[in-house]
């Protein structure tokens, strides 16, 4: 049943391409219906799946000569992310209601991307997972290069190449693991149980982990993220920050850490005080948190602020993964959901509500426009999203970051201090952007020269309300997700990790 | 010396005989009956007849598959040769269908005749394990290809390309013949299996070393591996589109197959290893060097190209580098991987040239700027071009991706310690990440760049559109369900016991 999230999206994309020329309104509605149908399927599965353990959806032989299966399965982690994908897919379409140029193609690429993302989250066979993971690259490139803004072709190419380099690293690791294990199966379950030698894991783990982490915005390989986000059209930024970066984090957790748990163990010697890959990546994640926040603090372009904030927030996820304790890991999964929703919301406000109307994202130019009076809905939404992003109690971000912080406190007490600093800077940059964009002193003389901005439309309001609701719901009742995420982390698949340095 | 049974010989060579007979019939009909008619009609009739002939040969192979080995491998028929021959015939049919809309020549009969003769040469080439027959079939193929490359008489570029091809080809044939003669001296036989038995030994005879290098040069030229690639960009660019498509697809399939056979069978005793840094002398290090150079040069130079044909030429050099890895691995599995790769590669390249043929006819040249905004003028053409290009880049779920995946797996699995060849595989995967850049640049032109305001009406012929959709469909299908082809390849390879 859950497999239909993938098929519906692909069918929707194909259907859009076959529409006659000029049917713009119909294309939008068809895309929206497809996304809603996908979300409905995901929601039904989410409600029915109460244990959080891995359940097979479809399993048929695909390439029997190589032991490759078409195997889809879902556990609590994948379900959480599938649900997130469904929400982002719907709201992304609502916020792209104003796309007039080559509408059909836009939504076709969009749905292709969504379908592939569903596929990654649901794959339980590594070959299949990799296939879906790579399909994501191409529509992403075209969405940005065709419908983007600032330096779009550069941003799109950079994004595509970074992704492809990352997936090339993953491919090397996967082929090596497959061959070392006897070239009989690519099933994640079977390979996770194969006793790879310590030496092999020490080499393969960083390769595959970094390969995935490039897409998760690991510092210093994050530079594609701000340029890509800024160049992308609103819906694509929402997708990029909302779900595509999660693909990277998901791959780190699901593939790199599950296949090569020994790679996280100590090297047996110390370099600059770092004793294992785990220490290295934890440190890089913390640098990412602080660096992203500091750079966001000095940006002049509104969208770059959000772009760098994404790097900072993704640092939390990677750090949560490296804590290797239950609270830290489940916090990381929760943060994947939370950041997906909130980054989507922030990009929607900046890209669609503000930029599409004012045609500028310069904070200095936005200030005099008196936006909190002209488009109060955008101002209110941004305030809420900003608060949620900072970690205000009652929103999903609070729970997630708190859990990660506790996890870090247990694993790396010293780093927890720096994370605290990162959170504080997070408050400052959001506050500064909010102040400059929406609440700065209005200069009366400049206002009359400009035509009045169009009011916030209904699809935009609806999208914003859905996203805020999704964040508040989890903020108030995090057990909704944790009830299935924690059993998933305790399942046999993660046994290798738990036996390692799980605390 | 065994008695030669000519009836059996004729029966075994029946598919080739059918192809050659078709060639003569097509030329006769074209010259005798159709001289006064418009070129398009002549091409249609000739291509249809020739395709029927090829289809007849396919039927003959499929329906009456003979297993034989005459005179120590002079003529061989087994499941693998059948498979490759069928693949070659299918590619020939596609090439013939591309010619239907071309206007570059009035000598229709001769053109089709040469394509069919070249096909017969390729079929003999793959059906032999004897040095002399291999050389003669290779020359039959090459000579036809030189003329095909020069066929556009009005274009100076076509001449130049053909002359270059001919001169380099002649040189490489000389190298090959020199190597073969040394091998004959060493083994006193022209059969590959006898050769392997004769050269088996712990140390590498200096004469054998020379023979290995010259043979690798001769065959490396045919597959356009660096540093013997100089003809490729000019020929790909200068030759008429159907000729270039044929050179880039069918002849590559045959050459790679024979390269594999000569190396794996003939030089079986002189392998050496390429496991860095403990390299042992033999033919493997030679091929590893060629593969490395091809992957680096092909991919890096392709970035700078502004003509799609030249870009495809350099990408062909890069792909030759990847495929050489399968020869280096020389296991049954890697032969299967090589066949899968080269066939799907040939389909994608053929498709790309079919698109180029249409665009050239409408816009005059294959410069990348002529592809600006193509997706708005010709959606079907652009969509299929995207499929072919992405398959070449190795993006799943297209055939090129599975080809690469399987190839790299078999290469790693070919040695007892997977670490031995890992440096080649890592280089190949890294280089294919580079290749995405130039492939995406082509697609950027097609899909992203806005259409020039004063662009003329664009007319894509119906036949080309259907043909392209069939080819694109095949590339997608083989990517989504590799088992369809892989099943046959694996069965054939293990049945032939190579």
Percent of chain B with pLDDT over 70: 97
CB-nearest partner of B418 from A138, A146, A180:
A180
Token pair recorded at residue A360 = 């500028």
Spatial distance between the Cα atoms of A434 and A406, rounded to a whole number of angstroms: 29
Per-residue pLDDT reduced to its tens digit, B58-102: 999 998 887 888 878 888 888 999 999 999 999 999 999 988 888
B20, containing H or E segment = helix B14-33
Spatial distance between the Cα atoms of B144 and B131, rounded to a whole number of angstroms: 20
Residue A368 has pLDDT above 90, yes or no: no
User: Which of A320-324, B206-210, B453-457 shows the lowest mean pLDDT across its residues?
Assistant: B453-457
Alpha helices in B330-378 (DSSP H): 332-363, 374-377
Do the chains contact at A171 and B409, CB–CB below 8 Å?
Answer: no
Residues whose CB is less than 8 angstroms from the CB of residue B410 and which lie 6 or more positions away in sequence, other chains included: B326, B329, B331, B333, B334, B336, B337
Contact call for residues A212 and A255 (beta carbons, < 8 A): yes
Give long-range contacts, CB 8 A cutoff, 24+ apart: B34-39.
Answer: B34/B108, B39/B103, B39/B105, B39/B106, B39/B108
A122: closest CA among A80, A76, A83, A72?
Answer: A72
Do the chains contact at B429 and A171, CB–CB below 8 Å?
Answer: yes
Do the chains contact at A62 and B483, CB–CB below 8 Å?
Answer: yes
Residue B281 has pLDDT above 80, yes or no: no
- From residue A215, how far is each of A238, A244, A320, B249, B357 by CA, in Å? 15, 7, 16, 36, 39
Which has more confidence, A443 or B229? B229
pLDDT of residue A480: 87
pLDDT of residue A486: 87
Residue A332 has pLDDT above 80, yes or no: yes
**CB hemisphere CA count around A20 (13 angstroms):** 1
Contact call for residues B383 and A150 (beta carbons, < 8 A): no
Contact call for residues A39 and A31 (beta carbons, < 8 A): no
- From residue B357, how far is each of A451, A503, B353, B388, B438 by CA, in Å? 51, 64, 6, 15, 20
CB-nearest partner of B409 from A130, A161, A178:
A178
CB-nearest partner of A65 from B422, B448, B483:
B483
Do the chains contact at B413 and A62, CB–CB below 8 Å?
Answer: no
Q: How far apart, in Å, do the first and last CA atoms of chain A sit? A: 36
A385: closest CA among A417, A357, A408, A353?
Answer: A353
What is the arithmetic mean of pLDDT over A184-212? 89
Contact call for residues B105 and B151 (beta carbons, < 8 A): yes
Q: What confidence category does residue A205 fall into, taking pLDDT thresholds of 50, 70 and 90?
A: very high
Per-residue pLDDT reduced to its tens digit, A248-268: 999 999 999 898 988 888 888
Q: CA nearest A157 in B: which residue?
A: B437
Min distance B429 CA to chain A CA atoms (Å)? 6
Per-residue pLDDT reduced to its tens digit, B292-301: 999 999 999 9
Token pair recorded at residue A465 = 């309300």
What is the arithmetic mean of pLDDT over A332-343? 92
Do the chains contact at B440 and A141, CB–CB below 8 Å?
Answer: yes
Spatial distance between the Cα atoms of A60 and A69, rounded to a whole number of angstroms: 6
Spatial distance between the Cα atoms of A447 and A449, rounded to a whole number of angstroms: 6
pLDDT of residue A450: 63
Do the chains contact at B486 and A65, CB–CB below 8 Å?
Answer: yes
Residue spans per domain, chain A: 4-499
Token pair recorded at residue A12 = 């929707």
CB-nearest partner of B433 from A141, A145, A164:
A164
Do the chains contact at A179 and B406, CB–CB below 8 Å?
Answer: no
Min distance B423 CA to chain A CA atoms (Å)? 11
Q: CA nearest B436 in A: which residue?
A: A161
CA dihedral A309, A310, A311, A317 (to 10 degrees): 120
Spatial distance between the Cα atoms of A31 and A40, rounded to a whole number of angstroms: 14
Min distance A161 CA to chain B CA atoms (Å)? 7
pLDDT of residue A449: 55
Q: What confidence category does residue A434 fall into, taking pLDDT thresholds of 50, 70 and 90?
A: confident
pLDDT of residue A443: 60
How many Cβ atoms are within 10 Å of B364's Cβ, its own excluded? Answer: 9
Helix (H, G, I), strand (E, B) or coil at B367: strand
- From residue A188, how far is each of A49, A96, A121, A493 by CA, in Å? 21, 37, 13, 9
Do the chains contact at B447 and A180, CB–CB below 8 Å?
Answer: no
What is the arithmetic mean of pLDDT over A51-61? 85
What is the arithmetic mean of pLDDT over B135-140? 94
Q: Partners of B77 in the beta sheet?
A: B68
**Chain B residues within 8 A of A186 when measuring between CB atoms:** none
User: Which residues of A lie inside 8 Å of B (Cβ-Cβ)?
Assistant: 62-66, 127, 130-131, 134-135, 137-138, 141-142, 145-146, 153, 157, 160-161, 164-165, 168, 171-172, 175-176, 178-180, 183
Min distance A42 CA to chain B CA atoms (Å)? 24
What is the arithmetic mean of pLDDT over A379-407? 87
pLDDT of residue A366: 78
pLDDT of residue A248: 92
Percent of chain A with pLDDT over 90: 34
Q: What confidence category does residue B104 fall into, taking pLDDT thresholds of 50, 70 and 90?
A: confident
Do the chains contact at B390 and A138, CB–CB below 8 Å?
Answer: yes
Helix (H, G, I), strand (E, B) or coil at A391: coil
Residue A458 has pLDDT above 50, yes or no: yes
Alpha helices in B154-202 (DSSP H): 156-187, 192-199
Give long-range contacts, CB 8 A cutoff, 24+ apart: A306-309.
Answer: A306/A229, A306/A241, A306/A343, A306/A346, A306/A347, A306/A350, A307/A225, A307/A226, A307/A227, A307/A229, A307/A230, A307/A241, A308/A226, A309/A343, A309/A346, A309/A389, A309/A426, A309/A429, A309/A430
CB-nearest partner of B429 from A134, A168, A180:
A168
**CB hemisphere CA count around A306 (13 angstroms):** 33
What is the arithmetic mean of pLDDT over A452-478? 87
**CB hemisphere CA count around A475 (13 angstroms):** 24
**Chain B residues within 8 A of A196 when measuring between CB atoms:** none
Spatial distance between the Cα atoms of A128 and A126, rounded to a whole number of angstroms: 5
How many Cβ atoms are within 10 Å of A220's Cβ, its own excluded? Answer: 9
Residues whose CB is less than 8 angstroms from the CB of residue A464 and which lie 6 or more positions away in sequence, other chains included: A345, A348, A349, A377, A381
Q: Please give the model's pTM, rounded to 2 decimal places.
A: 0.92
pLDDT of residue A444: 54
**CB hemisphere CA count around B480 (13 angstroms):** 8
Residue A367 has pLDDT above 90, yes or no: no
Helix/strand number for chain A, H first, E second = 25, 4
User: Which of A296-300, B52-56, B103-107, B350-354 shows the lowest mean pLDDT across its residues?
Assistant: B103-107
Contact call for residues A139 and A112 (beta carbons, < 8 A): yes
Backbone angles phi, psi at A274, to 5 degrees: -95, 130
How many Cβ atoms are within 10 Å of B453's Cβ, its own excluded? Answer: 5
Per-residue pLDDT reduced to its tens digit, A193-204: 888 888 888 899
CB-nearest partner of A134 from B396, B422, B444:
B396
Spatial distance between the Cα atoms of B82 and A165, rounded to a whole number of angstroms: 39
Interface size A-B, in CB pairs within 8 Å, comes to: 75
Do the chains contact at B418 and A176, CB–CB below 8 Å?
Answer: yes
Percent of chain B with pLDDT over 90: 55
Backbone angles phi, psi at A74, to 5 degrees: -135, 140
**Chain B residues within 8 A of A66 when measuring between CB atoms:** 406, 409
Mutate which: B418, B469, B479, vs A, most A CBs within 10 A:
B418
- From residue B282, how far is each of B213, B338, B343 by CA, in Å? 10, 21, 28
How many Cβ atoms are within 10 Å of A292's Cβ, its own excluded? Answer: 28
The single residue listed with the structure tokens 């293990």 is B494
The DSSP string of A286-299 is: HHHHHHHHHHHHT-
Do the chains contact at B412 and A175, CB–CB below 8 Å?
Answer: yes
Q: CA nearest A158 in B: which residue?
A: B437
What is the arithmetic mean of pLDDT over A350-370? 81
B114: closest CA among B154, B143, B155?
Answer: B143
A301, containing H or E segment = none
How many Cβ atoms are within 10 Å of A376's Cβ, its own excluded? Answer: 13
Residue B460 has pLDDT above 60, yes or no: yes
**Chain A residues within 8 A of B413 when measuring between CB atoms:** 179, 183
Which has more confidence, A374 or A59? A59
Min distance B386 CA to chain A CA atoms (Å)? 10
**Chain A residues within 8 A of B432 when measuring between CB atoms:** 168
Min distance A239 CA to chain B CA atoms (Å)? 20
Min distance B135 CA to chain A CA atoms (Å)? 35
Q: What share of chain B is helix, strand, coil (3-state, %, to 5)?
A: 75, 0, 20
User: Which of A23-32, A34-43, A490-499, B354-363 shows the lowest mean pLDDT across its residues?
Assistant: A490-499
pLDDT of residue A503: 43
Residues whose CB is less than 8 angstroms from the CB of residue A426 and which lie 6 or more positions away in sequence, other chains included: A293, A309, A312, A389, A390, A391
Per-residue pLDDT reduced to its tens digit, A124-149: 999 999 999 999 989 999 999 988 88
Q: How far apart, in Å, do the first and last CA atoms of chain B sit? A: 25
pLDDT of residue B454: 72
What is the arithmetic mean of pLDDT over B104-108? 83
Token pair recorded at residue B242 = 């159907």
Alpha helices in B239-331 (DSSP H): 241-248, 250-261, 283-302, 308-329
Contact call for residues A300 and A364 (beta carbons, < 8 A): yes
């Amino acid at each position: 049943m859950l497999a239909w999230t993938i098929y519906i999206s692909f069918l929707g994309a194909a259907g859009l391409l076959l529409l006659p020329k000029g049917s713009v309104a119909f294309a939008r509605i068809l895309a929206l219906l497809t996304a809603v149908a996908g979300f409905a399927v995901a929601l039904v599965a989410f409600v029915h799946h109460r244990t959080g353990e891995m359940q097979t959806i479809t399993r048929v032989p695909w390439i029997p000569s190589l032991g490759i299966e078409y195997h889809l399965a879902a556990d609590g982690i994948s379900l959480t992310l599938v649900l997130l994908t469904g929400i982002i897919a719907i709201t992304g379409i609502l916020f792209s209601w104003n796309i007039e140029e080559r509408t059909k193609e836009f939504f076709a690429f969009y749905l292709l991307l969504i379908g592939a993302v569903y596929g990654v989250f649901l794959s339980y066979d590594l070959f299949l997972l990799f296939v879906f993971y790579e399909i994501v690259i191409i529509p992403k490139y075209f969405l940005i290069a065709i419908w983007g803004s600032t330096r779009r072709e550069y941003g799109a190419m950079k994004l595509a190449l970074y992704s492809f380099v990352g997936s090339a690293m993953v491919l090397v690791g996967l082929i090596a693991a497959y061959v070392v294990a006897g070239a009989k199966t690519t099933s994640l379950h079977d390979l996770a149980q194969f006793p790879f030698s310590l030496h092999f894991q020490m080499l393969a783990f960083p390769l595959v982990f970094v390969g995935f982490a490039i897409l998760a915005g690991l510092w210093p390989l994050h530079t594609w993220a701000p340029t890509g986000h800024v160049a992308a059209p609103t819906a694509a930024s929402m997708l990029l920050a909302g779900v595509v970066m999660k693909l990277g984090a998901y791959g780190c957790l699901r593939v790199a850490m599950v296949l090569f748990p020994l790679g996280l163990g100590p090297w047996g010697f110390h370099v600059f005080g770092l004793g294992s890959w785990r220490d290295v990546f934890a440190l890089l994640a913390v640098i990412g948190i602080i660096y992203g926040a500091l750079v966001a603090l000095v940006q002049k372009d509104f969208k770059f602020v959000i772009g760098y904030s994404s790097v900072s927030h993704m640092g939390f996820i990677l750090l949560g993964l490296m804590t290797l304790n239950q609270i830290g890991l489940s916090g990381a999964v929760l943060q994947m959901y939370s950041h997906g929703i909130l980054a989507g919301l922030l990009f929607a406000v900046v890209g669609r509500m503000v930029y599409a109307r004012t045609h500028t994202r310069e904070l200095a130019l936005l200030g005099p426009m008196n936006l909190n009076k002209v488009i109060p809905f955008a101002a209110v939404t941004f305030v809420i999203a900003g608060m949620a992003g900072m970690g205000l109690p009652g929103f999903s971000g609070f729970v997630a970051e708190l859990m990660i912080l506790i996890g870090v406190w247990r694993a790396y007490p010293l780093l927890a201090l720096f994370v605290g600093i990162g959170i504080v800077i997070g408050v400052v940059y959001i506050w500064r952007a909010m102040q400059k964009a929406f609440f700065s002193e209005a200069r009366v003389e400049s206002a009359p020269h400009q035509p009045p901005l169009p009011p916030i439309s209904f699809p935009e309001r609806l999208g914003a309300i859905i996203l805020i609701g999704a964040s508040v719901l989890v903020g108030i009742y995090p057990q909704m997700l944790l009830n299935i995420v924690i059993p998933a982390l305790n399942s046999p698949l993660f046994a290798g990790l738990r036996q390692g340095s799980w605390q | 010396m065994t008695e030669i049974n000519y009836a059996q010989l004729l029966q075994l060579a029946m598919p080739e005989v059918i192809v050659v007979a078709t060639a003569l019939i097509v030329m006769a009909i074209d010259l005798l009956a159709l001289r006064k008619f418009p070129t398009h009609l002549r091409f249609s009739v000739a291509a249809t007849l020739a395709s029927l002939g090829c289809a007849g040969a396919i039927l003959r192979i499929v329906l009456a598959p003979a297993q034989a080995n005459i005179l120590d491998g002079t003529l061989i028929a087994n499941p693998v040769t059948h498979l490759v021959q069928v693949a070659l015939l299918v590619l020939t049919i596609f090439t013939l269908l591309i010619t239907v809309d071309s206007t570059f020549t009035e000598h229709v009969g001769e053109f089709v005749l040469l394509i069919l003769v070249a096909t017969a040469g390729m079929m003999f080439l793959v059906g032999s394990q004897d040095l002399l027959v291999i050389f003669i079939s290779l020359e039959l193929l090459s000579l036809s290809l030189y003329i095909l490359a020069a066929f556009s008489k009005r274009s100076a570029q076509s001449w130049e390309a053909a002359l270059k091809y001919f001169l380099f080809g002649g040189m490489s044939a000389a190298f090959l013949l020199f190597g073969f003669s040394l091998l004959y001296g060493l083994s006193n036989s022209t059969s590959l299996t006898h050769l392997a038995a004769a050269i088996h030994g712990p140390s590498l005879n200096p004469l054998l070393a020379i023979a290995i290098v010259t043979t690798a040069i001769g065959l490396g030229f045919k597959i356009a591996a660096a540093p013997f690639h100089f003809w490729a960009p000019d020929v790909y660019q200068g030759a008429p589109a159907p000729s270039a498509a044929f050179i880039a697809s069918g002849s590559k399939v045959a050459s790679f197959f024979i390269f594999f056979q000569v190396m794996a069978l003939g030089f079986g005793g002189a392998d050496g290893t390429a496991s860095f840094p403990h390299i042992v002398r033999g033919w493997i290090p030679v091929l590893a060097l060629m593969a490395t150079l091809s992957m680096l040069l092909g991919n890096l130079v392709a970035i700078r190209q502004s003509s799609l044909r030249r870009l495809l030429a350099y990408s062909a050099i890069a792909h030759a580098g990847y495929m050489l890895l399968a020869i280096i691995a020389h296991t049954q599995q890697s032969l299967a991987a090589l066949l899968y790769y080269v066939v799907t590669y040939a389909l994608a390249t053929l498709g790309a040239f079919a698109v180029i043929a249409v665009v050239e006819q409408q816009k005059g040249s294959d410069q990348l700027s002529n592809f600006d905004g193509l997706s708005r003028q010709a959606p079907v053409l652009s969509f299929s071009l995207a499929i072919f290009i992405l398959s070449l880049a190795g993006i799943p779920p297209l055939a090129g991706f599975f080809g690469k995946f399987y190839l790299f797996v078999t290469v790693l699995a070919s040695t007892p310690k997977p670490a031995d060849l890992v440096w080649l595989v890592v280089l190949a995967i890294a280089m294919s990440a580079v290749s995405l850049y130039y492939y995406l640049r082509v697609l950027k032109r097609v899909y992203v760049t806005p259409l020039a305001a004063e662009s003329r009406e664009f007319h894509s012929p119906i036949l080309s559109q259907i043909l392209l959709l069939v080819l694109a469909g095949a590339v997608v299908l083989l990517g989504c369900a590799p088992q369809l082809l892989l099943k046959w390849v694996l069965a054939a390879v293990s049945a032939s016991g190579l």
